[in-house]
Structure 1
Amino acid sequence: MIPPTLEEVVSNILNQSFHHQGIGATATSRNTLLKVILESAEVPEPESTTAFIFDEISRLKTTSLKKVKILAKQKSTFDVSWCREFEVESQVEPAIRTEPEVETENHSSKRISAEEFQQALEECTRTAKNAYQKTFNYYKEIATILQNLKLDLDKSASYLLKQKDANNFNFAKVLRNIVDEIESHANEGLQELKKYLEVKSQHLADFTVVLFGRTKAGKSTIREALTCGDGSTIGKGSQRTTRDIREYKWKGLRLIDTPGIEAYQGEEDKQKAVEIVHESDIVIFLTSDDSVQPGEFDAMAWLQEIKKYFFVILNIKYDIDKPKRLERFIKNPEKIFESQRLDEHKRHIRTYIRHSLGIEEVAIICIHAYAAFLSNQPQYSDVAKNLWELSRIEEIYSLIASEIYTRGKQRRWNTFFDAIIYFLDLIIKMLEGHQKSLESQAYFMREKRAEIEYIFQESVKNGKIKIQRVCKDSFSKIKQWIPSFVDEYLGKDIAQSEYQKRMDKEKQKIETVMENLFEEIVQELVASLNEFQRQYQYDMGTIKLESTDFGNYQQWQVGKILKWVGVGLGAASAVAFGIGAFAAANFWNPVGWIAGVTSIVVGIFSWFFGDQEKKAWQKAKQEAKESLWKSLDQSEQETCKTYQKLLDTNIAVRAKTEVLEQVDIYIKGLLIIVADLKKAISQLEKIKKQMKQESDSTEPRDRVPNPSNFKVNSSFIADELL
């Protein structure tokens, strides 16, 4: 029989794999280049398809290939939809094993004895106690830094609130709120860290294994099987509250069953998941052979983010409740554990983990959890041994035992250090969120300060024009009755007193008009400041949205950060409120300004009744009229200048200065708080760096008889540290 060519082998493999997707594959080769043409009704997704083909070709261990080129096109067309290339290393080892070896009765590898396992657990306990003490010391350093931050913030706020008129301006309350919120959030983060350490201190002797995965994948069934339960909790996949997190003892281990991934419906539930998973030393990630959901890959990514070691259990959901199906399972288990079908699931999982998470290898164990559970039930006692062995559930314990024996101390050490670093990172990001928010507000307000100055300048400019117009109008009305007054009173003794009466009335009219005018100017200024305030609030809202960068946050940190920093953003941006109200209520009293200069009008006319003017009066009415008009022109100019000077003094100088002084103090206050935050963040970052160095600066130690069976992903801890 002629052996198949490389092209035929590749074509057959890909056609079998892609058949259910409606994709046809044709492979051709020339020299060291293999070309794969994919044809389908709909164009396949390029990245995952390329990754799959890469894995399949890598498994062939061919020495004749150097490059593979993939072309995808739709049926009945000649246009290529996409093209990908990759290099193939000669005599390459399989990038991903189809099945990791584990230490069970079904394998030839050396089993770990009960004595060895117990000794490993005792060593893990000593490691946990040491790690707890070290991380608790770090906790005390963190607490000291946050306490010093509180003292610095209180000191800064106290200094700022002692500034002139601080309590009369809204910024005083805002600054106090900002400080209180930062202190509250820092304390909340510290309390979560303390709570975690307190929980861990109660389980120093417990190596903790957490069952984690989606609802209805079989977590409860596995737990019931491992703990010889009666099945009362099987099928309750909708559990989601704290009391539904179940804890058990199993072969010297602490086993925790968590709600399904879908049950975490809000931030509170997610935080519960975070807390439970952080308690674990090993995570058993459970999925099933019916399908792997996108949410499960997201959960794997999160476990990778928090550096939590996990292996995958692929639970086979074949129904064996009916006697005939049970008999078929016992007689022909290979059909249930069909390698081709299960290998497809495992390749799908490993391809994602490799290309998306950067994990070269992950252990995947296929079991039948329900068969293991039935083996513990009295009515199945006659086939109990067969069911237990055929379920392959013992491989879970064997893999855990081997991991504990090999890297158990490292796992326990990392449980403490990685979790503390996670919580510390959360605190740092919370403080950074406040820092960036306050910085953006300070710099934004500094830019807006020029707009406030412009508002005052425009108010004064327009006010002076209005003063000039009102003065002109008021004196024009006086000039209108001058001729008739001269005609009537020229040469009469009562001219002086009558003129004085009329000037008193005109003075009151001018004063009233000016009071109204200044009130109008102030109201327009207040309206402009209020409009600025509204626009400022809108712009600040935009800045808050644009300045929030979630790129550096871990998947389930975002909600916590928003909860903490979001409140601070709201309070801090409220500084613009009250600028107009402050202007209207505190010290801008136009009536008071005018009351201080009412003698101007009287003084303007008092010179008229001197000797020279009496002669002019007696000499000729016309000369008297012209003289009065001329003096009124001069009085009009002096009156206008006087009122314009009042406007300069009270708005252009005094009011603007007092408002801008408050704005400057507020900007200064924000930047002082920012400096306090930066100082604390720098100190916390230093501690985080020290913790990472202490966690990573270790010597490898491997006790596995066959180290190639297990993935070594993290560093080991030197014996003297453990």
Structure 2
Amino acid sequence: MEEKNLQFALSECKELAEKGYKAASEQEIKLRDALSVAQNELQKTIEECRKNTKNRAQSTNFLEEQLEEVRDSLKKISIGLHSDLENLRNNLGKFSVTLFGRTMAGKSTLMEILTEGDGDSIGKGAQRTTRDIRRYNWNGLEIMDVPGIGAFEGEKDERIAFEAAKNADLIIFLMTDDAPQFVEAECFSKIMDLGKPIICVMNVKASIEGKGIKLALRDVNKQFNLERLDDIRKQFLLFAEQYGQSWTHIPFIYVHLKSAFLALKTDEQEARRCYYDISRIGILKNQIEKQIEQKGKFYRIKNFVDAISNPTALLMENLLEQGQLNWTQRKTILDKKHYLNRWRNNFLDDGEARIKSLIIKIKNDLARESDLFIEEHFNDKNADNEWLKILKSRNIGKQCQEVISDLDAISKEKIEEISREVENELKFKSAFWKDKSLRMSRVVDSKKYWKWAFLTAEGVLTIAGLVTAFLGLSIAAPIGIATVVVGGLGILGGYLFKSREEKEKKARQDLKTKLTNYINQFCDDIEDKMQVSLKEIIKNIDGFMDGLTVDIVVLERLAEIQKNLAAKLRDCILEQNKFILLEAFQFIDVEGLDYPVQTVLRIPGNISLLLMTQETIIPQKLIKEIQELMEEKIETIYDSDCMDVLISRIIGVEKEKVAIDYSQQVVLAYISQEHLCTKIKTRLRLAQQYSKLIIVRE
């Protein structure tokens, strides 16, 4: 291809880039508004949570922190989307090609070849030669050389590389003819997830240093055994399956970069031509120019659209899964609260019965003791002291303390038991969803979430304080009352003028009446004080349940906010999907309205699934053209009003293998375990994108 053709194609790319920016910008504004609404709803929930200062639990404090983190995360996402879009806008006039690959794969060598450099940037065998992004121009293209992947302690380098890849219109992925490595495949799959067009370059390693031209040609050509190189390519493509992707459409170019570099540094014209020819670098240059001339305009539109669609799709999936997890955790807490409430009522009845039983026992014991006491002390000036001795000997305060302390211990143990059960069940639910959902990212951390120490510490201190105060009364009160009784005996002096027998009879009767009244009043007072202590224990249990209620409400609102936001994001995604398909129809000079597509489901760089009206057929030739343009698989299915039928069609299984549960806040669709494999992982994401359902294993 002549250079002027490339320059003409690049001039057209800018016009299409402006169109892509406009479309993406409109969607970004809608997303920003949706995210803002969610942030405001979260802020209201936070403020309501803060108002609840009574019975505030440590778990509620943590939930409040989680709400703040979610709110702040949504704000960062909104800022990030806008920033990414503006970065692309600032480069409207540039067509960006990013060199990506494993450390020492030859990225810097390729840069030197394209720019005809002096070789200073080429690595000398050490890892991590390129530590930052380097930009340079070649034939009007902006080429970015980014840090290599897979180096020891190269995590930061990889983050820099992937951030740069987000802005690229075309990725050149370099690998070597060594055995394919997992780290290469993993990074390749991540680039595919970005939806970027890719040219894969395999740099053949053949040593030619210090060799004559004929020997060098022989050794290089020997390494260019196509059967061997194709086998390495096939081995690499096998990695795609475990990521639910297909890489078969990716063009592979085999080159020997060392020869291409030597061609630049050799003065002798014939040697230069030989090195250039055996390097096959011309094939790579032609492939880059060809793709840009044929598809560059579409790449520019697609780059802007995918800059919004990709993160939006991932956010929607995470929101649905987090919302379902929060709703599941909310139900777990609610079930435990209902159980605890039933237990609390039974506990209250049992506590009142135990107190009543103790009071009856104390009253009967004191009544029996009073008969003997009357005979021995009806005319005793020290009767009050003697009665106090009897009360102390009966250890009434200790008996009351034991009952109240036991009830307090039982309530404490139950709260701790519920706390442990809730924590364990939340852990189980989290593990359950990790196992069954497509991907797990949860908001509530169960390990950190359930710390009920505030109940078992502060609550016990409160009850202990009441018991102590009560014990003081239970010992002191009889003294005061007994003194009144004995003081009352002083009125017997008026009867000394009567007969001794009558006076003794009267004294016994009066003392019996006063003791009986005293015992009744004393036991009533004790019962009242014990009931107060019991109410404090119940109050502590109720406070615990109030704390659960706050957390239930918070989780419910959070799940609802996530569900509503996911629905809005989904609408934006489908609108973007439809837009890019219509652009593809227009690009290949086909009127898209001739083929009534109801909905477009899309995983950028992987697959677009077209939901068609019944009896509508798109010619296979047209599908192939769109597939080659978009560089992702294009498939069609017929739409349906029956959700389980449609989901089964999207996933590619029989209708009977899909069951939908509408009973929960986030609707679930179950698929049989035997039909789950990595090949349909992408299909599951498409089904979720359309239905807003959580697809889980049955």
Q: What's the TM-score once normalised by structure 2's chain length?
A: 0.71
Residue 291 of structure 1, aligned match among 152, 174, 179:
179
Mean alpha-carbon deviation: is it higher for 378-387 or for 501-510?
Answer: 501-510
Describe the SS at the equivalent of 1:357: coil
C-alpha distance 207-577 of structure 1, shift in aligned 2 (>3 A) = farther
Task: Quote the offset at 1:280 in angstroms.
Answer: 1.6
Residue 681 of structure 1, aligned match among 547, 566, 576:
566
Q: Which residue of 1 aligns with 2:215?
A: 328
Given that residues 240 and 247 in structure 2 are in contact (C-alpha distance below 8 angstroms), is that contact kept between their aligned partners in structure 1?
A: yes
C-alpha distance 522-268 of structure 1, shift in aligned 2 (>3 A) = farther
Describe the SS at the equivalent of 2:630: coil
Describe the SS at the equivalent of 2:143: strand
C-alpha distance 580-454 of structure 1, shift in aligned 2 (>3 A) = farther
Task: Quote the offset at 1:116 in angstroms.
Answer: 2.0
> Once the two structures are superposed, what CA deviation does each residue of 1:648-694 show, in whole Å capped at 9, x if it has no partner?
54444x44434323322331232123222322222222212212221
C-alpha distance 374-217 of structure 1, shift in aligned 2 (>3 A) = same
Residue 543 of structure 1, aligned match among 403, 413, 429:
429
Task: Quote the offset at 1:408 in angstroms.
Answer: 0.7
Given that residues 104 and 127 in structure 2 are in contact (C-alpha distance below 8 angstroms), is that contact kept between their aligned partners in structure 1?
A: no
Q: Which residue of 2 aligns with 1:452?
A: 340
Q: Which residue of 1 aligns with 2:307?
A: 419
Task: Quote the offset at 1:341 in angstroms.
Answer: 3.1
Q: Which residue of 1 aligns with 2:455?
A: 579
Matched, 1:274 2:150: no
Task: Quote the offset at 1:449 in angstroms.
Answer: 1.0
Q: Which residue of 1 aligns with 2:553?
A: 668
Matched, 1:319 2:195: no
Extract unaligned runs of 5+ from structure 2. Answer: 496-500, 590-621, 633-698
Given that residues 215 and 237 in structure 1 are in contact (C-alpha distance below 8 angstroms), is that contact kept between their aligned partners in structure 2?
A: no
Given that residues 145 and 683 in structure 1 are in contact (C-alpha distance below 8 angstroms), is that contact kept between their aligned partners in structure 2?
A: yes
Extract unaligned runs of 5+ from structure 1. Answer: 1-111, 717-722
Given that residues 350 and 362 in structure 1 are in contact (C-alpha distance below 8 angstroms), is that contact kept between their aligned partners in structure 2?
A: no
Q: Which residue of 1 aligns with 2:316?
A: 428
C-alpha distance 570-223 of structure 1, shift in aligned 2 (>3 A) = farther
Q: Within 5 Å, give how 1:41-52 maps onto structure 2.
A: none
Alignment partners' CA distance in 2, 1:195 and 1:239 = 32
Residue 195 of structure 2, aligned match among 303, 307, 331:
307
Task: Quote the offset at 1:628 in angstroms.
Answer: 10
Alignment partners' CA distance in 2, 1:265 and 1:547 = 32
Q: Which residue of 2 aligns with 1:712?
A: 628
Residue 210 of structure 1, aligned match among 80, 98, 108:
98
Given that residues 13 and 297 in structure 2 are in contact (C-alpha distance below 8 angstroms), is that contact kept between their aligned partners in structure 1?
A: yes
C-alpha distance 547-353 of structure 1, shift in aligned 2 (>3 A) = closer
Task: Quote the offset at 1:373 in angstroms.
Answer: 0.5
Task: Quote the offset at 1:120 in angstroms.
Answer: 0.6
> Once the two structures are superposed, what CA deviation does each residue of 1:613-670 show, in whole Å capped at 9, x if it has no partner?
x999945999999999998997798678656644654444x44434323322331232
Q: Which residue of 1 aligns with 2:681?
A: none
Matched, 1:388 2:276: yes
Amino acid aligned to 2:276 = W
Residue 579 of structure 2, aligned match among 690, 694, 706:
694
C-alpha distance 152-503 of structure 1, shift in aligned 2 (>3 A) = same
Alignment partners' CA distance in 2, 1:180 and 1:189 = 14
Alignment partners' CA distance in 1, 2:383 and 2:6 = 120
Q: Which residue of 2 aligns with 1:137?
A: 26
C-alpha distance 185-354 of structure 1, shift in aligned 2 (>3 A) = closer
Describe the SS at the equivalent of 1:135: helix
Alignment partners' CA distance in 2, 1:274 and 1:436 = 30
Q: Which residue of 2 aligns with 1:344?
A: 231
Given that residues 437 and 547 in structure 1 are in contact (C-alpha distance below 8 angstroms), is that contact kept between their aligned partners in structure 2?
A: yes
Amino acid aligned to 2:313 = D
Q: Which residue of 1 aligns with 2:15?
A: 126
Alignment partners' CA distance in 2, 1:440 and 1:174 = 18
Amino acid aligned to 1:666 = D
Amino acid aligned to 1:518 = I
Describe the SS at the equivalent of 1:589: helix
RMSD of equivalent CA atoms: 4.5
Alignment partners' CA distance in 2, 1:593 and 1:147 = 55
Amino acid aligned to 2:628 = V
Amino acid aligned to 1:580 = T
Mean alpha-carbon deviation: is it higher for 220-229 or for 504-513?
Answer: 504-513
Q: Within 5 Å, give how 1:214-293 maps onto structure 2.
A: 214-235=102-123, 243-263=131-151, 269-293=157-181
Given that residues 202 and 252 in structure 2 are in contact (C-alpha distance below 8 angstroms), is that contact kept between their aligned partners in structure 1?
A: yes
Given that residues 149 and 158 in structure 2 are in contact (C-alpha distance below 8 angstroms), is that contact kept between their aligned partners in structure 1?
A: no
Q: Which residue of 1 aligns with 2:466?
A: 589
C-alpha distance 248-346 of structure 1, shift in aligned 2 (>3 A) = same
Q: Which residue of 1 aligns with 2:646?
A: none
> Once the two structures are superposed, what CA deviation does each residue of 1:419-474 show, in whole Å capped at 9, x if it has no partner?
22122234334544543343233111112113433664565466457646754675
Q: Which residue of 1 aligns with 2:615?
A: none
Given that residues 215 and 238 in structure 1 are in contact (C-alpha distance below 8 angstroms), is that contact kept between their aligned partners in structure 2?
A: no
Amino acid aligned to 1:579 = L
Alignment partners' CA distance in 2, 1:419 and 1:237 = 36
Describe the SS at the equivalent of 2:7: helix
Alignment partners' CA distance in 1, 2:245 and 2:550 = 49
Residue 411 of structure 2, aligned match among 525, 532, 536:
525
C-alpha distance 216-160 of structure 1, shift in aligned 2 (>3 A) = closer
Q: Which residue of 2 aligns with 1:39?
A: none
Given that residues 189 and 426 in structure 1 are in contact (C-alpha distance below 8 angstroms), is that contact kept between their aligned partners in structure 2?
A: no
Task: Quote the offset at 1:196 in angstroms.
Answer: 1.8
Alignment partners' CA distance in 2, 1:343 and 1:164 = 68
Q: Which residue of 2 aligns with 1:72?
A: none
Given that residues 284 and 312 in structure 1 are in contact (C-alpha distance below 8 angstroms), is that contact kept between their aligned partners in structure 2?
A: yes
Alignment partners' CA distance in 2, 1:580 and 1:354 = 52
Describe the SS at the equivalent of 1:247: strand
Alignment partners' CA distance in 2, 1:672 and 1:319 = 65
Mean alpha-carbon deviation: is it higher for 527-536 or for 275-284?
Answer: 527-536
Alignment partners' CA distance in 1, 2:110 and 2:547 = 66
Task: Quote the offset at 1:169 in angstroms.
Answer: 3.8
Q: Within 5 Å, give how 1:4-43 maps onto structure 2.
A: none
Given that residues 406 and 702 in structure 1 are in contact (C-alpha distance below 8 angstroms), is that contact kept between their aligned partners in structure 2?
A: no
Amino acid aligned to 2:3 = A
Given that residues 287 and 314 in structure 1 are in contact (C-alpha distance below 8 angstroms), is that contact kept between their aligned partners in structure 2?
A: yes
Alignment partners' CA distance in 2, 1:303 and 1:217 = 17
Given that residues 367 and 519 in structure 2 are in contact (C-alpha distance below 8 angstroms), is that contact kept between their aligned partners in structure 1?
A: no
Matched, 1:153 2:39: no
> Once the two structures are superposed, what CA deviation does each residue of 1:595-629 show, in whole Å capped at 9, x if it has no partner?
89999978899999899xx9999459999999999
Q: Which residue of 2 aligns with 1:657?
A: 542
Alignment partners' CA distance in 2, 1:267 and 1:341 = 32
Task: Quote the offset at 1:393 in angstroms.
Answer: 0.3
C-alpha distance 710-188 of structure 1, shift in aligned 2 (>3 A) = closer
Alignment partners' CA distance in 2, 1:241 and 1:221 = 11
Alignment partners' CA distance in 1, 2:265 and 2:531 = 100
Given that residues 423 and 446 in structure 2 are in contact (C-alpha distance below 8 angstroms), is that contact kept between their aligned partners in structure 1?
A: no
Amino acid aligned to 1:180 = E
C-alpha distance 423-350 of structure 1, shift in aligned 2 (>3 A) = closer
Describe the SS at the equivalent of 1:286: strand
Alignment partners' CA distance in 2, 1:399 and 1:313 = 11
C-alpha distance 471-346 of structure 1, shift in aligned 2 (>3 A) = closer
Given that residues 149 and 680 in structure 1 are in contact (C-alpha distance below 8 angstroms), is that contact kept between their aligned partners in structure 2?
A: yes
Task: Quote the offset at 1:342 in angstroms.
Answer: 3.2
C-alpha distance 244-550 of structure 1, shift in aligned 2 (>3 A) = farther
Describe the SS at the equivalent of 2:309: helix
Task: Quote the offset at 1:207 in angstroms.
Answer: 1.2
Residue 62 of structure 2, aligned match among 169, 174, 189:
174
Q: Which residue of 1 aligns with 2:250?
A: 362
Given that residues 127 and 412 in structure 1 are in contact (C-alpha distance below 8 angstroms), is that contact kept between their aligned partners in structure 2?
A: yes
Alignment partners' CA distance in 2, 1:661 and 1:253 = 64
Q: What's the TM-score once normalised by structure 1's chain length?
A: 0.69
Describe the SS at the equivalent of 1:287: strand
